[in-house]
Amino acid sequence: MTTTPRHVLLAGATGLTGGHLLQRLLDDPAAPQVLAPTRRALQAHPRLQNPVGVLSRLVPQLRGTVDAVFCCLGTTIRQAGSREAFRMIDYELPLALGRQALTLGARHYLLISSLGADPTSRVFYNRVKGELEQALQEQGWPQLTIVRPSLLLGRAKPRLGDRLAPLSRILPKRWSGIEASTLASALWRLAQDDEPGLRIIESDALQRLGA
């Protein structure tokens, strides 16, 4: 059964996938009201509420009605500058977002995690992603959707790992690169499915959903 959420909270709206998702939501007249806290102001829109400031301070102060929350937050250790800063963005903030969204009535949390997420991994990045998945499950969400995309494609300024993009396109679907716009479309489709419980969606399934 599908039910379109009427009020959504979107974290990471200035990022690659979050930007595509925001545009998709605002371009669709039937899409919901959007609450999108960001560090820099977004272009004004009648259905967009855009608190601006430091996210760690904004998130606990968010107010309003929320049906579903999209967490498109994410960085790299290189961009963050340290493991501690990376963990703040990729673990602490998504958890704080979940806690606040629950108080606002949200029932569905949709998280962009990563291929290889595993709380027991020796790889720090994968371990943090896995720990976040585990911690969100412990928050007791009626619906929790975790998506695990492979290499994200479509950046205007490619990261070092994006040099593997041509190779990633010929790998098996689970490991092949996925366009951020495709991932955004898949997320919106998943948000309209009211099946309760935990769902973990791997990259090959995301390709199909977002096509």
Q: Give this prediction's pTM.
A: 0.89
Q: What is the pLDDT of residues 47-96, one digit of tens each?
A: 999 999 999 999 999 999 999 999 999 988 898 889 999 999 999 999 99
84: domain range?
7-154+185-210
**189 assigned to some structural domain:** yes
Using a 10 angstrom Cβ sphere, with 0-12 exposed, 13-18 middle and 19 or more buried, the burial of residue 166 is exposed
Percent of the chain exceeding pLDDT 70 equals: 89
Number of domains in the chain: 1
Task: Determine the pLDDT at residue 56.
Answer: 92
**1 assigned to some structural domain:** no
**175 assigned to some structural domain:** no
**160 assigned to some structural domain:** no
Q: What is the pLDDT of residues 22-44, one digit of tens each?
A: 999 999 888 889 999 999 999 99
**166 assigned to some structural domain:** no
Task: Determine the pLDDT at residue 171.
Answer: 54
Task: Determine the pLDDT at residue 163.
Answer: 47
Q: What is the pLDDT of residues 90-129, one digit of tens each?
A: 999 999 999 999 999 999 999 999 999 999 999 999 999 9
**170 assigned to some structural domain:** no
* CATH code (residue 23): 3.40.50.720
**108 assigned to some structural domain:** yes
**163 assigned to some structural domain:** no
DSSP string for residues in 28-46: -TTS-EEE--BSSPPPP-T
Phi first, then psi: what are they for 87, rounded to 5°? -65, -35
